[in-house]
Amino acid sequence: MKKAVWTFGLISGAIAAGTMLATLPLADSPRFKTTEVFGFTAIVLSALMIFFGIRSYRDNVGAGKLTFGRGIAVGLLIALISSACYVGTWELIYFKLKPGFAEKYAAHLIERARASWQSQEKIDQAVREAQGFKQMYDKPLNNIAITFSEIFPIGLLVTLISAGILRKKGQAQAAL
């Protein structure tokens, strides 16, 4: 199980982290929405490695058999490794490679509120929320938790679907 989990977990993590690094030049762009869409698409694509990892485990280690529980265990471990790669890359980017991201994103949120012709009260609320976001995001543990919550639920969902699709009983058990 170790080989399949580590191999597919690292491949998935490399896809998620690599696309994040590839879009790093776009971080200075005011097009945060486009970057978000591209980023989440890359996360979903990286999560597909969970399916292939569970299938590889079933075919190579399980001799063609896989219980739903074992599929979940394999998938969750792959998702955890991938998530760790993603979070580690983001921490490096946020604190070392692109400091000032929170200020730019907060300014984007405020500008979006102003551009939508909201009342001054709503704009003031957006300013407070943006300032709170920045203060919260500058704390490494909060940053880690938020970043982990971006990727792991997608991995969990793909794990559940994949374990259900790929479960397979042995021929002797299937006949019963």
Q: Of 2-11, 37-46, 113-122, 136-145, where does the model show the most confidence?
A: 2-11
Angstrom CA distances, 81 to 119, 130, 134, 166, stand at 45, 31, 27, 21
Q: How many residues make up the chain in this entry?
A: 176
The b/e string for 54-93 (b: 16+ C-beta within 10 A; e otherwise) is bbbbbeeebeebbeeebbbbbbbbbbbbbbbbbbebbeeb
* pLDDT-based confidence at residue 172 (cuts at 50, 70, 90): very low
pLDDT at site 38: 82
Q: What is the pLDDT of residues 119-152, one digit of tens each?
A: 788 888 888 888 888 888 889 999 999 999 999 9
User: Residues 113, 40: contact at Cβ < 8 Å?
Assistant: no
Q: Of 44-53, 105-114, 137-146, where does the model show the most confidence?
A: 44-53
Sequence-distant (6+) residues with CB within 8 A of 82 are 9, 10, 12, 13, 16, 46, 47, 49, 50, 151, 155
Tell me which of 166 and 97 has the higher pLDDT.
Answer: 166
User: Using the 8-state DSSP alphabet, how is residue 128 labeled?
Assistant: H
This prediction's pTM: 0.84
* pLDDT-based confidence at residue 32 (cuts at 50, 70, 90): low
